[in-house]
Structure 1
Amino acid sequence: MPSGFLFDLDGTLLNSDPLHMAIFADMLRPAGVEVDHAFYTSRILGRNSAEIFAELLPGCDAVAMDDEKEARFREVLDRTSIAPTPGTERLLDRIAAAGLPVAVATNAPRQNAEAMLRAVGLRDRFPVVVAAEEVARGKPYPDVYLDAAAKAGADPAQAIAFEDSGAGVTAAAAAGCTVIGLTTSLSPDALRAAGARHAIRDYEDPGLFPLLGLETGALS
Structure 2
Amino acid sequence: MGNCQRRHLWYTCLTAGLKGTDYSTMTLALLFDLDGTLLHTDPLHAAVFSELFAQRGRQIDDAFYLHHVHGRQNLDIFGEHFPNEDAQTLSNIKEAAFRARLGAQMPTPGLAALLDQAETQGWPVAVVTNAPRDNAEVMLAAIGMRQRFDTLIIGDECDRGKPDPAPYRAAMAALGVAPDICIAFEDSPSGVASGVAAGALTIGLRSSLTDAALRAAGAVASIADFTDPILPGLLSRRLSSQGVS
Please say whether Structure 1 and Structure 2 have the same fold, judged by a TM-score greater than 0.5. Answer: yes
Following the alignment from structure 1 to structure 2, what is the Cα–Cα distance between the partners of residues 88 and 44?
26
Following the alignment from structure 1 to structure 2, what is the Cα–Cα distance between the partners of residues 205 and 198?
11
- What TM-score does the superposition give when structure 1 sets the normalisation length? 0.94
- Max Rg structure: 2
Following the alignment from structure 2 to structure 1, what is the Cα–Cα distance between the partners of residues 179 and 96?
32
Please show how residues 55-204 of structure 1 align to structure 2 within 5 Å.
55-77=80-102, 80-204=103-227
Flag structure 1 segments of 5+ consecutive residues without an equivalent.
none
Please show how residues 15-94 of structure 1 align to structure 2 within 5 Å.
15-77=40-102, 80-94=103-117
Identity among equivalent positions (%) equals 48
Render the CA deviation track for 1:69-107: whole Å, top value 9, x for unaligned: 111111111xx3310001000011111111110001100
Following the alignment from structure 1 to structure 2, what is the Cα–Cα distance between the partners of residues 24 and 2?
40
Which amino acid is 1:44 matched to? V
* 8 Å contact kept, 1:104–1:129: yes
* 8 Å contact kept, 2:27–2:239: no
Q: Where has structure 1 moved over 3 Å in runs of 4 or more? A: 216-219
Flag structure 2 segments of 5+ consecutive residues without an equivalent.
1-25
Structure 1 residue 217 displacement after superposition = 6.4
Which amino acid is 2:108 matched to? T
Secondary structure class of the residue paired with 1:173:
helix
Number of residue equivalences: 217
Structure 1 residue 209 displacement after superposition = 1.8
- 1:209 aligned residue (232, 237, 243): 232
Following the alignment from structure 1 to structure 2, what is the Cα–Cα distance between the partners of residues 26 and 101?
39
Following the alignment from structure 2 to structure 1, what is the Cα–Cα distance between the partners of residues 62 and 113?
30
Sort the Cα spacing of 1:44 and 1:73 in 2 relative to 1 into closer, same or farther, 3 A.
same
Following the alignment from structure 1 to structure 2, what is the Cα–Cα distance between the partners of residues 135 and 198?
27
Secondary structure class of the residue paired with 2:55:
helix
